[in-house]
Amino acid sequence: MSRRTVSFEEIPVSDAHAGPYALTTGPDDALWCTLVHAGRIARLTPGGRLDQFALDSASCGPAVITPGPDGALWFTRSRDGRIGRITVDGKATSFPVPDPGCGPFGLASGPDGALWFTQLHSDRIGRIDTDGRVTEFPLPLTGAFPSALTTGPDDALWFTLNQAHAIGRLGLDGDVTLYPLPAGNAAPVGITCGADGALWFVEIGAGRIGRITTGGRIDEFPLPDPACRPHAIVAGPDGACWFTEWGANRVGSLTPGGRIEEYDLPTPGSEPHGLAFGPDGALYVALETGAIARMTP
């Protein structure tokens, strides 16, 4: 493991109460960010232009955002049980899910041209097509808190079960397989598909990064600080996976070979959450204190 100083530029996008949370790169080559406590979506170009788009409810809790198959951005509304859609020019709509209290959270585009999402409070995975039709798939356990999800190289949906301390796989046919993690306090959150064809995830409870193959083999990589609270993870263009350490105010990277590097963020207590690589190749990190940090390569 190594820790070295790199250059971060912090770009203010909101006040400290709005809560920049999740990031993605849109089809318009801009960064799109959810402001979870303000009910807004922010758009930031690599050149520094910032736009904000208010949603129809300031308390809807926009959480995870991702490009959809239709050229728009889609996002979960965790507090009012809806899935949102916003065009690149800022026109927002939303669609209800059957249980308004289910807590939609994780979101990913599937290989079938639909969006798939987790439901924190109802132990289900949902599927929504671009016309707003929702199908739900119940999980075979209770109180599991399904959190993030991603599409795997096997064209299945892979997701974390935060309170069940497990990783799940959902086939497009609805078949569910669960893989318990070795640590009983793992509490996995973020998950991504790595360049090596495996799924990489963070264990916020155990301070580890995990890797699971499509065949179910699990490896874990302890981080130097077991209390660092890793939160989100994304595959980088360099072949490594990059993650935020919410409890330690750092960004880290892990190569497929197990090499860990960590980078301190300049502002203490900035609460890093989501992260994404921008169209300029830089790493952008959402800071809940009201900024997006750009890491210079």
The CA-to-CA distance between both ends of the chain, in Å, stands at 18
Q: What residues pair up with 200 in beta bridges, in sequence order?
A: 192, 211
Cβ(115)–Cβ(128) below 8 Å: yes
How many C-beta atoms surround the C-beta of residue 105 within 10 A?
24
In sequence order, what are the residues at sequence separation of 6 or more whose Cβ sits closer than 8 angstroms to the Cβ of residue 14?
A: 20, 35, 38, 40, 42, 52, 290
Q: Which of 17, 121, 165, 273 is catalytic?
A: 273
Residue ranges of the binding site for Mg(2+): 271, 288
Q: Supply 174's token pair.
A: 């609805």
Binding residues: 231, 271, 288
Check if 121 is active-site. no
Structure tokens at 267: 């502002």
Half-sphere exposure of 233 (CA within 13 A, CB side): 33
Integer Cα distance of 4 and 7 in angstroms:
10
The SS3 of residue 24 is strand
Number of H helices, E strands in the chain: 0, 29
Just list the catalytic residues: 273
